[in-house]
Amino acid sequence: MDQIMSNKQAGLAQYNAIMIQKFKDKIYNGELIIQNSIQLKNIEFLQNLKIHKLELIGCMHIIPNLKSSTIKELKVANCCLKEINAILLENLEIFDASYNSELKMQDIEMFKNLRQLDISSTNLVDISNLKLQLLSSLQLRNNKIKDIPSLSNLINLTELDLSQNADIDIDPLQQMKQLRVLKLSKCNLQSIQILELLTDLTEIDVSGNKNIDIQSLQYLVNLKKLNISRTNNNNIDVLQSLKNLEELDISYNEIDDINVFKYLVNLTKLNIFQNMVQNIDILLQLQHLKELDISRNPQMDFKPLQKLGQLHRLVLCGNNLINISFLNGLFNIKYLNLFNIEYLDITPLSCLVNLTTLDISSCNIKDISSLQRLVNLEVLQISQNEINDIHHLQNLVKLTSLDISYNCIKDISILKQFKYLIHLYLSINKGVNITPLQYLTKLTKLMLNECDLHEISALRPLVNLQYLTLSGNYIYYFYPIRDLDAIVYVHGNLIVESSDYFTFFKLQDKSQFIKQQPTKQQMQLARNMKMVDTTTQCIRDISTKRRNYLSSQQITVVTIVQLFEKQYNEFQTFINRVVQLLTLLVGQEEYQ
């Protein structure tokens, strides 16, 4: 037994050495971010890396054994953590453990130096034991908290988020006069009268509380940010005393009169999405306005917009626009969203040469020649149109994100010029030739659903690819993407489970199976390429196979699992021996 334990420790040391080598080059300015890692379980090796900020996002079922005196900021969101008492970070100041639904509140109390804590979406009910006196920011969003008397003891707390805690009693908040930021979205509140006492508040969010009485807001004259969207308040005259407001969201309220804005001359950001506003002349008095969303106001007269030359960001989605010539004067605009405007004539866009982000998706567009002068574009969305020719985009070489999905595009040869492209959406372009993709080596995200693809050899050089979707094609040969080590997500089915010193491959979602039987030829091909028939309920491998992806094609081949290989030479032999010994000692069932 001592020999087995010694071998296990040696195997763990080998594992740590491999993982340190893998991640040390990903540290930037003392920060390390690991997302959706399928092989990360034991994180003890991280304590040997010189980092002050660590993010582990979506790294399921990690073993939280970590000790470090340098890490000051830790994020372990959505990692299925149940306990964290083995995380010994004596100098931790910022901790995000959100979306861990089984986390125990008492474990958090050991981090005495915490300044910022996020335990949103953790199914918390009772926070009476929360006594972290140094906290200045606390996020408790989307829990089941009803009572908060203990929060009044947190004398340094200036930022508090209690959103999505239905029917919470907010009366204790009147004791917390040090608060500056308070978020109470979707709490089923009817009254916020007690907030009258919190006169130093600079930001409030009470959105999603239908029929809430907002009269008390008039006393909070220091407010700079206010969100009252989805509150069924169609009269906002009460806001006229809030002359320091800089950001205001009144969306989804059926408001038709916005004359109160003449008092709010310091506004820089305004959202009046989905209201009943017709006249916007009053906006001309807002000389500091930089960002404006006036989407879905069906009767609005948009002509005054041409005089708002200071705008940097404008959203006009879903409006009844035939002519957008009023945009001609907006030379400072950098972000423009015209999503879902039927039969849009985009000719006036040619003069907006400072645009960096443009969305003209779902506008029944066929001709995009007007875009060829927009050489500063970095993000372009032209999906869900009737485009079959994209050669007019050839000068847009600064693009980092391009969405041309749901069109009729077959020739994408111009894309080889886009050396900075990292996100590309090509789905539902039937018969597209993807050969030019081999030149886009910076790509991290690629969507190729339903493109009638038969082979994907062009993807072989995309070494930075992390997210890939291939559903609804005719692919049964996945060997070209075998060595793309950066991939963490293929077709929505990430199905590998790893442990400290050996790896089991097990199907996690059998609901994705296609019930068609493969032909003998397909099965032989799968065996030759080291693919596995997923009708087998459990695939076990305790040697070299590192990754395992389910690719459920909606075609004539059975769903298969591609086993991505990486040789570890002597490590392979050692692991095989360890497992054999353990199997003899504790029985085979322990390792099924």
- Any domain includes 370: no
Mean pLDDT for 109-136 is 92
Structure tokens, 255: 């408001």
Q: Which of 43-47, 156-160, 266-270 has the lowest mean pLDDT?
A: 43-47
Answer yes or no: is pLDDT of 343 > 90: no
Q: Which residue has the tokens 């504790």?
A: 586
Handedness of CA 225, 228, 234, 235 (dihedral sign): negative
Total structural domains in the chain? 2
DSSP 441-510: TT--EEE-TTS--S--GGGTT-TT--EEE-TTS-----GGGTT-TT--EETT-B-EEE-SS-EEEE-S-G
Mean pLDDT for 49-72 is 79
- Any domain includes 44: yes
DSSP 180-243: -EEE-TTS--SB-GGGGG-TT--EEE-TT-TT-B-GGGGG-TT-SEEE-TTS-----GGGGG-T
Mean pLDDT for 518-527 is 43
Answer yes or no: is pLDDT of 118 > 90: yes
pLDDT band for position 529 (50/70/90)? very low
Structure tokens, 533: 């028939």
Q: Go through 419-440 and write b for each residue having 16 or more CB atoms within 10 A of its CB, e for each that does not.
A: eebbbbbbbbbeebebebbebb
DSSP 134-162: T-SEEE--SS-----GGGGG-TT--EEE-
Judge contact between 394 and 416, C-beta under 8 A.
no
pLDDT band for position 141 (50/70/90)? very high
Q: Which residue has the tokens 């195997």?
A: 11
pLDDT for position 358 = 98
Answer yes or no: is pLDDT of 564 > 60: no
Report the DSSP pairing between strands 357-359 and 379-381.
parallel
Domain termination site, one of 91, 123, 155: 123
pLDDT for position 589 = 42
Ramachandran class of 269: left when φ > 0, alpha when ψ lies in -120 to 50, beta otherwise: beta
- Any domain includes 568: yes
d(CA 406, CA 383): 6
Structure tokens, 512: 């994705």
Structure tokens, 541: 């491998």
All residues at 6 or more sequence positions from 217 whose CB lies less than 8 Å from its CB, including other chains: 192, 195, 204, 223, 226, 228, 238, 239, 242
pLDDT for position 581 = 61
Answer yes or no: is pLDDT of 516 > 50: no
User: In terms of residue numbers, what domain contains 3?
Assistant: 1-123
pLDDT for position 122 = 92
Q: What average pLDDT does the structure give for the chain?
A: 81
Structure tokens, 26: 């990903």
pLDDT band for position 545 (50/70/90)? very low
Angle at CA of residue 121, ends 115 and 124, nearest 5°? 80
Instruction: Count other C-beta atoms under 10 Å from residue 31's C-beta.
Output: 13
**Three-state DSSP class for residue 393:** helix
Sheet holding 545-551, edge to edge: 531-533, 560-565, 545-551
Answer yes or no: is pLDDT of 307 > 80: yes
All residues at 6 or more sequence positions from 86 whose CB lies less than 8 Å from its CB, including other chains: 63, 64, 65, 66
pLDDT for position 445 = 92
Q: Which of 102-111, 287-296, 305-314, 385-394 has the lowest mean pLDDT?
A: 102-111
**Which of 76, 78, 102, 98 lies closest to 87, judged by CA?**
76
pLDDT for position 458 = 95
Domain termination site, one of 58, 90, 123: 123
pLDDT for position 536 = 27
The segment with the largest mean pLDDT, out of 19-28, 73-82, 488-497, 531-540, is 73-82
All residues at 6 or more sequence positions from 37 whose CB lies less than 8 Å from its CB, including other chains: 56, 59, 488
Answer yes or no: is pLDDT of 471 > 60: yes
Handedness of CA 79, 81, 84, 87 (dihedral sign): negative
Q: What is the DSSP letter of 259?
A: G
pLDDT for position 554 = 25
Answer yes or no: is pLDDT of 9 > 90: no
Predicted TM-score (pTM) of this structure: 0.80
Answer yes or no: is pLDDT of 517 > 80: no
- Any domain includes 142: no
The segment with the largest mean pLDDT, out of 33-47, 53-67, 100-114, 219-233, is 219-233
**Which of 453, 451, 503 lies closest to 480, judged by CA?**
453
Answer yes or no: is pLDDT of 112 > 70: yes
- Any domain includes 212: no
Answer yes or no: is pLDDT of 492 > 60: no
- Beta strands, E only, 237-385: 247-249, 269-271, 291-293, 313-315, 335-337, 357-359, 379-381
Alpha carbon distances (Å) from 237 to 214, 222, 280, 588: 10, 17, 16, 73
d(CA 38, CA 548): 9
**Chain centroid to CA 206: how far?**
24
pLDDT for position 68 = 79
Mean pLDDT for 236-247 is 98
d(CA 161, CA 181): 8
Q: How much of the chain, in percent, has pLDDT values that exceed 90? A: 57
Mean pLDDT for 119-142 is 94
Q: Which of 72-76, 82-86, 208-212 has the lowest mean pLDDT?
A: 82-86
pLDDT for position 474 = 80
Judge contact between 58 and 79, C-beta under 8 A.
yes
Structure tokens, 266: 């310091």
- Any domain includes 279: no
Q: Which of 52-61, 97-106, 137-146, 554-563 has the lowest mean pLDDT?
A: 554-563
pLDDT digits (tens, 9 = 90+) for 268-295: 999 999 999 999 999 999 999 999 999 9
Q: Which of 27-31, 154-158, 300-304, 545-549 has the lowest mean pLDDT?
A: 545-549
Angle at CA of residue 168, ends 165 and 172, nearest 5°? 130
pLDDT band for position 48 (50/70/90)? confident
d(CA 494, CA 133): 41
DSSP 420-451: T--EEE--S-TT-B-GGGGG-TT--EEE-TTS
Q: Which of 312-321, 445-454, 548-557 has the lowest mean pLDDT?
A: 548-557
- Any domain includes 480: no
Domain termination site, one of 69, 101, 123: 123
pLDDT digits (tens, 9 = 90+) for 168-191: 999 999 999 999 999 999 999 999
Answer yes or no: is pLDDT of 300 > 70: yes
pLDDT for position 27 = 81
pLDDT digits (tens, 9 = 90+) for 424-462: 999 999 999 999 999 999 999 999 988 988 888 999 999
**Which of 119, 146, 124 lies closest to 135, judged by CA?**
119
d(CA 484, CA 462): 7
pLDDT for position 97 = 92
Answer yes or no: is pLDDT of 523 > 80: no
pLDDT for position 23 = 72
- Any domain includes 551: yes
Instruction: Count other C-beta atoms under 10 Å from residue 222's C-beta.
Output: 15
